[in-house]
Amino acid sequence: MAEPVRLIKRYANRKLYDTGSGELTSLRRIEDLVRAGVDIRVVDHDTGEDMTSEVLVGILGNSMGAGTIDGDTTLLTSLIRTPNDLVAALFKDEQRTEELRAMGERVRLLSATIDALLGQMDDGGEPPPAPAPKPGPTPKPAPARKRTGPARNPRS
């Protein structure tokens, strides 16, 4: 069963209360939860407004500021200018990942089939007959050649 979303309440004094652990928490602890795969939802205690995105952006900013990597500024600028491009790239990457998984499964099955055939050959057994080739298109007859020059009489 999937773990329910962890609710974090944010108070007017900017303190964060983790309802899952029953204690005050910090951005660092929330970051650890997210890295551990826990889904979180941060809401304003007074209004109930969802503040998850704001908190996650704050965590992202803190973690990137702690150890800046070349290209961070370019990535963040691009994300702000064209957020849909990132979503499209992530979706395309996920599609490629699924294609590679499917291809890996086909390779695994093919490898198992080859291993089984080789095992039969090692045991002295005859390998099963090769599948009949699929019928292809019927080749067209070559066009008749035109003769040039005088016609020859084969009797002469």
The residues spanned by each domain of the chain are 1-81, 85-122
What pLDDT is recorded for position 20?
A: 92
**CA-based nearest residue to 31, from 19, 18, 22:** 18
pLDDT band for 114, please (50, 70, 90 cuts): confident
Which residues sit opposite 44 in a β-bridge? 10
Strand 16-18 to 23-25 pairing: antiparallel
Residue 85: what pLDDT?
A: 80
**pLDDT tens digits for 35-87?**
899 999 999 999 999 999 889 888 887 776 555 556 667 777 777 778 788 77
User: Which pLDDT does position 79 carry in this prediction?
Assistant: 74
Burial of 115 from C-beta contacts in 10 A (0-12 / 13-18 / 19+) = exposed
Sequential DSSP letters for 71-92: THHHHHHHHHH-HHHHHHHHHH
Model confidence at 19, pLDDT cuts 50, 70, 90, reads very high
The pLDDT of residue 81: 79
Output the CA–CA distances (angstroms, integers) from residue 146 to 38, 143, 155, in the order listed. Answer: 80, 9, 21
For the entire predicted model, the pTM comes to: 0.48
For position 143, what pLDDT does the model report? 57
The percentage of the chain sitting over the pLDDT mark of 90, rounded to a whole number, equals 27
Question: Is residue 17's pLDDT more than 80?
Answer: yes
What is the pLDDT averaged over residues 112-129? 76
Read off the pLDDT band of 22 (50, 70, 90): very high
Averaged pLDDT, 111-137 = 71
More confident residue, 81 or 141: 81
Cα–Cα distance between 33 and 36 in angstroms, integer? 5
- Mean pLDDT across the stretch 2-20? 90
